[in-house]
Amino acid sequence: MEHPAANYKTVPKKSSRSRLGTTWNHIKRDRQLLLLFLPCILFYAIFRYGPLYGLIIAFKDYSVFSGVLGSEWVGFEHFITFFTNHDFWMLFRNTLLLGLYTLIFGFPFPILLALLLNEVRNKWLKKSVQTFSYFPAFLSVVIISSMIIDFLSPNHGILNQMLAAFGFETKYFLVDPGWFRPIYVISEIWANMGYESIIYLAAIAGISPTLYEAAKVDGASRFHMIRHITLPGLFPTMLIMFILKTGSMIRVGYEKVLLLYNPMTYDVADVFSTYVYRKGLLESNYSYAAAVGLFEALVAMVMLLSANAVSKRLGGNGLW
């Protein structure tokens, strides 16, 4: 009887030298591709990973003229000050709610727009609707905000004039704390819907037309096709977009809040980023602002990781 092992060839033990050699060979082989990738690596190294070094100042009493390394270490002092600040929970609540509402209500609209645009057969109409809906994405936040202020003015705003025309009472929306979040979220949707729908339109374009043809032959209506072909085809894109948006949810931009809030709505409008702006830039507490920013980034990371894990657990795909 032959020894069972005799059938097996002995596997030569790979030396680290040869592994290095393989990597080198790969680099040599793909050098043109890698060269194309180089600007991307540099971008991330310089603009994304480089500044991470500056985060040290969150643990220091940073002085511009002593420099990052020369400033004194203070440990977690800034974090403790922040967490014990009596505004902390208000900021946390406002940031979370604004982010959450924008995510929940803002997420379906670009999809809906893409689905509807996809059904439009008239090319001219489709193009004009698309262009029109992109438009606000190219306007600066300052312009968007003054448009909102104008629309909602109790004296001469279009909305109030319409309310008055239909016999309703006019309302001063901007000083009503109850209206701040809806105004913020709706304007956010209005400004970004068109632009964000591009990615879904691209995904729809990637769905094989044969599926639609087959469904048509089987007598499927347009609605059936959306439900059974387009939506399932869009699902992976939707999932990825959702995870990405969850990660940036807590990062509510400060410009629009600063432009839209007033003493009546401070209570619901003040968010982490406006606080960082005030503390960091207006009061020159760079270290403190860095600590708040770092906390914000950590929360965002935790949310991104959890969204990814949940998505994987539910049987879908994650980002990684």
Partner 1 sequence: MMLKKRISIVLTATLLTSILAACSSGTDKGGSAALPPQEPGQYGDTGNLALPLVDEPTTITYMLPSNAKDLGPGKLVVQELEKRTGIKVNFQTYSPQTYQDKLKVIVASGKLPDIFTGLKPAELKKIGKQNGVVAINKYADQLPNFKKLYMEENDWVLKSYGDEAGNLYTWPIYNLNRKVNHGFMFRKDIFDELGIKEWTNTDEFYEALKKVKAAYPDSYPYASKSLANIFRDWAFGWGLGNTDQYPAYYDEKDGTWKYAAVQQAHKDMLDFMKKLYNEKLLDPEFLTDTQDSWTTKMTTDKSFVTFDWIGRLDLFYNQIKEQNPDYDLRYANPVGPTGNVRTLPEVSDFSVAVAKNKNTEVSLKLLDYLTSPSGSELMTIGVEGVNFEWGGDGFPVYPELKDLPLVDITVLEDRYAMWLEGAYLRPDHRSIYYRFSEKEQEAQDKIVKEDRFEPLDPILNFTDEETSKLAELQTSLQKSAEEFNAKYILDAGYGEAQWADFQTELSRSGVEELMSIYNAAQKDTRSPNRRP
Minimal distance in Å, beta carbon 38 to partner 1?
A: 22
Q: Which of 46, 281, 298, 301 binds partner 1 (CB under 8 A)?
A: 281
155 lies in the site for partner 1, by CB under 8 A:
yes
Out of 9, 13, 15, 65, the only residue in the binding site for partner 1 (CB under 8 A) is 65
- Does position 184 bind partner 1 by CB under 8 A? no
Provide the mask over 211-250, with x wherever binding to partner 1 is found by CB under 8 A and - wherever it is not: ----------------------------------------
Considering only 25, 128, 131, 262, the residue that binds partner 1 (CB under 8 A) is 262
How would DSSP label each residue in the chain? ---GGGGSPPPPPPPHHHHHHHHHHHHHHTHHHHHHHHHHHHHIIIIIIGGGGGGGGGGEE--TTTHHHHSEE-TTHHHHHHHHSTTHHHHHHHHHHHHHHHHHHHTHHHHHHHHHHHH---HHHHHHHHHHHHGGGGS-HHHHHHHHHHHH-TTT-HHHHHHHHTTPPP--GGG-HHHHHHHHHHHHHHHHHHHHHHHHHHHHHTS-HHHHHHHHHTT--HHHHIIIIIHHHHHHHHHHHHHHHHHHTT---HHHHHHH--TTTHHHH--HHHHHIIIIIIS--HHHHHHHHHHHHHHHHHHHHHHHHHHHHTTS----
Q: Taking CB under 8 A as the rule, does residue 282 contact partner 1? A: yes
Of the listed pieces 59-67, 72-80, 120-128, 297-305, which binds partner 1 according to CB under 8 A? 59-67
Task: For the CB of residue 85, give the shortest distance to partner 1 in the complex, in Å.
Answer: 8
Residue among 81 and 237 whose Cβ is closer to partner 1 = 81
Ranges within 84-113 binding partner 1 (CB under 8 A): 86-87
Q: How many residues bind partner 1 (CB under 8 A)?
A: 31
Compare residues 197 and 285 and give the one whose CB is closer to partner 1.
285
Q: Which of 180, 272, 286, 295 binds partner 1 (CB under 8 A)?
A: 286
The residues of the shown chain that bind partner 1, judged by CB under 8 A, are: 63-67, 81, 86-87, 146, 149-150, 153-156, 172, 174-175, 262-264, 266-267, 270, 278, 281-286
